[in-house]
Chains A and B, each alone.
Chain A
Amino acid sequence: MASVSQSSKPATERPVLLRADNIVKRFPGVVALKGVSFDLREGEIHALCGENGAGKSTLIKTLSGIHPFGSYEGQMLLDNKPLELRSTGDAETNKIAVIYQELALVPEMSVAENIFLGREPKRGAFIDWITMSEQSRALLQRFGINVDPDTRVRDLGVGLQQLVEIVKALAKESRILILDEPTAALSESEVEILLDILRDLRERGVTCVYISHKLGEVFAIADRITVLRDGASIVTLDADKTDRSEVIRNMVGREIGDLFPRHATNPGAPLLQVRDLNVAPPEGSNTRLRDISFEVRAGEVLGIGGLMGAGRSELLMHIFGAWGTRTSGDVSLGGISLNANSPARSIAAGLVMVTEDRKRYGLVLEESIGFNLSLSSLGGMTASGLLDGNREWKENRHYFDSLRVKAPGLESIVGKLSGGNQQKVVLGKALMTKPKVVFLDEPTRGIDVGAKLEVYNLINELTASGQAVVLVSSELPELMGMSDRIIMLHEGEIGGTFSRQDATPEKLLAAAMGQPVPTDHTLLV
């Protein structure tokens, strides 16, 4: 602690290294950052907390040059001099390193090659393999990471890969290290190694920005905490003068008004029943689903929430037949067992899913609206082997009109529509299959307020006609506003189930974070 003079001073007394002043970042149709200010003091670990969509990732992208200077409003100062990052290269020159959730390692190369990628030590015209290997070994040892530098990265677990990524950033002798959800993929012992590394770095005078939902880690390591909400910085707190509930309150703190016009219906018989589901992830993922049981009744909206990586989308995709391998458990739809191993079977049984990533899983972008709308329903439009054009036209027209898709006509190309209208086409495609149960995964992501309201009304229409809806949403207000019941997932397990009346943001967030759910009602928003 005492080896570097600055670290002995409390964080509040150290000089400011980087200052962000009222940063505003606009995307077409959305204001992602509405004014974020915070300062980073030399040698501190500064945590950024906020719900999904609060603006954390956008903020990082401005700090790393991905959103270049000029694409945002406001000012950044490094050492009291204006900081104008025009590229990620500029960030590197200024000794700012970012470690993203998605790793940027080359899996086929060795650990050493990755650490020195792009700045390999040379002897003459050739790479000096021996120096590279030795320097890597020294670096890894210094941080207590037990990995042979000659191992191929693909042979390491995700956690070790993450640590290698961090070492790679440190090898560039960065002054500021920004970590975006670094522990999402780490086991507990790996988290400990990481936290030790960060403490060690703090002693060496490296400044850290630490982004995490996991308040346990945040309080274990951060000197100060800045809370973001709806694209604005709400407050900066000293870690030793605050507690979790204050942070959560600041993360949530907003009113849930009449933005969500849910008309609850009297739920009927159970439609979808899920019992003791255990699912192993496919290759390349480490979200494992454990002991999940729930049921959805006719006319009911079941909300599923949770933090990034909690397994929300994976759960829906699995039941739909498009993700993971079931190790145990049972799913039934309307009393009939549905253990679908393909979306085609689910759709035939009356279960349809609107996926979160509509461009990847939802639409054939180069094709027309009509082509996409009827794509899942062509089976019922075929007579003696040929498509019945009249019938297809009528169905397409019906959904085009009732969903109020704003486009010149059914022959318009889907790829050229706005996000909201594309989403309506995906919804129309799902509804045309005449489902009993509809899975909606983030159905309002990236669409404007008006289109959101139309989606909410559609949910009401579905439940009013006796269909069941399962709604996954990262936005707590949406989840609370539109669901009749809410399940919060935490690391692949059910962290808590809440009725509409019981649900408060504090309780939901606590369940999502695996914390004990607060029982009193003293924490008012």
Chain B
Amino acid sequence: MATSSVSVADSALAKSPAQSDSRVPIRDFSMVIALVVIWGFFAIASPNFISARNLSNLTVELSITAILSLGMLLVILGGYIDLSIGSGVGLLGAISAVLLSQHNWPAPLAMLVAIIVAVIIWFGMGALIVTQRIPAFIITLAGLLVFKGLHWKVIQNSTIPVTHGGEDNLYSLLTTWYLPPIWGIVLGAAVFALLATGTWRARQRRESFGLSVDTREVAFARLLVTGQLIALFVLVCNGYQGIPLSALILAAAAFMVWVLTQHTRFGRYLYAIGGNEEAAHVSGIPVTKVVIGTFVIMGLITALGGFMQTAYAGSSTTTTGELLELDAIAACVIGGTSLKGGRGNVVGVLFGSLIMASLLNGMTLMAISPEIKYIARGLVLALAVWMDVRLNKGK
């Protein structure tokens, strides 16, 4: 069910085994069970968890985690890692916040500056990693420390709001604007219609190539479940203030990353580099360019995540963004991304992000103390990687 909505619509003919691998459904299934258990537990322990208001908050939190995880997916697919994005979120969010609230810059311009900074920094890190052969782990760990220090310098260890004089702007609206309910319904219906036609066309194409397809019943059931989930999501969101803008951003980002990984040369090269970098090079793949490109995209996504995270908190403080890199890595691994590279997909990462975001949201709601939250996050990360190692055995 986890792979239903997107991978059926997938028509890539040289499909990544990440989607045809027989082990994956087991993992997908265990992800669904884990999610049900987590939600069930929090719903009982803290009934507010399933209130429309909290689910709306959870959606915003999910958007931030998931967007960062999608960037991390690209980096990990190529066989690399980025530990710096938590600090990067803090730094990039802070740059825009300072320009906006202290220098009275218009929000789009303030954000553009942070985006340019992000591209330059991540281009540099990617180039160092792939041309100088310095392990990504080290370069981005250094980045983690440097960006943290820069972040604190930028905000001078104080709290910088994301508005000037309390007026809403593009930046602050990222996590506070909601789609009017009626538009939410229209959008939900439109997405479902696109999904249905996409599924149908992909199915016909696979049939015309003589490839195996699901039986009509299974395909129909999948579509039905997907439709119900979309309807449920729209109704829950409309029960509060409507679909959050951040959810729309996430949907757009997820769609783009999915197209990138499944339907472009860049994505195919990324899987090849992560699967066997030497073979990729000898096959004529511009490994250096692709890896640097991946890091640049990671930088762009970090900037976006930085705006959203800072806007969600309302201001930039010394702790903004802290540990988000670990949540993103955990979400990827939970979602079936192999840390060795070459295996993983968007749907899995979205699921992994939902699990991570739910855990954090639920614990906050239960007023669990920060020390226990740290321990829980650490254990989840270790558990996820252990699962990854276990499932990769015999490869």
- Which residues of A approach B to under 8 Å, CB–CB? 320, 322, 342-344, 346-348, 353, 355, 360-368, 370-371, 373-376, 378-379, 382, 385-387, 389-390, 392-393, 396, 409-411, 413, 429, 433
Contact = CB atoms under 8 A, between A and B. Distances in A.
Interface stretch (B220-228, B265-273, B310-318): B265-273
Contact of A366 (B11, B13, B275, B286): B275
Contacts of B272: 364, 367, 371, 375
Interface string B251-287: 0000000010001110011011001101111111110
Contacts of A344: 284-286
Contacts of A429: 283
A378 B282 contact: no
Given A364-B275, A367-B275, A376 B14 contact: no
Given A371-B14, A387-B263, A410-B14, A393 B279 contact: no
Contacts of B283: 343, 375-376, 429
Given A344-B285, A387-B263, A361 B268 contact: no
Most chain B CB neighbours (cut-off 10 Å) among A389, A396, A429:
A389
B14 to A, nearest CB: 3
B94 to A, nearest CB: 34
6 contacts: A346-B284, A362-B282, A363-B276, A382-B264, A387-B12, A393-B209
Contacts of A374: 14
Interface string B204-241: 01000101000000000000000000000000000000
B13 A433 contact: no
A370 B284 contact: no
A379 to B, nearest CB: 7
Contact of B14 (A346, A362, A365, A368): A368
Contacts of A411: 14-15, 20, 211
A364 B276 contact: yes
Nearest to A389: B13
B342 A353 contact: no
A353 to B, nearest CB: 7
Interface string B16-30: 110010000000000
Contacts of A343: 281-284
Contacts of A320: 282
B286 A342 contact: yes
Given A347-B284, A364-B279, A370-B14, 10 more contacts: A344-B284, A348-B284, A364-B272, A370-B13, A387-B263, A389-B13, A390-B205, A392-B13, A409-B211, A410-B13
B151 interface: no
B271 A371 contact: yes
Contact of A413 (B11, B17, B278, B285): B17
B265 A362 contact: no
B395 interface: yes
A361 B275 contact: no
Contacts of B11: 389
A383 to B, nearest CB: 11
A365 B276 contact: yes
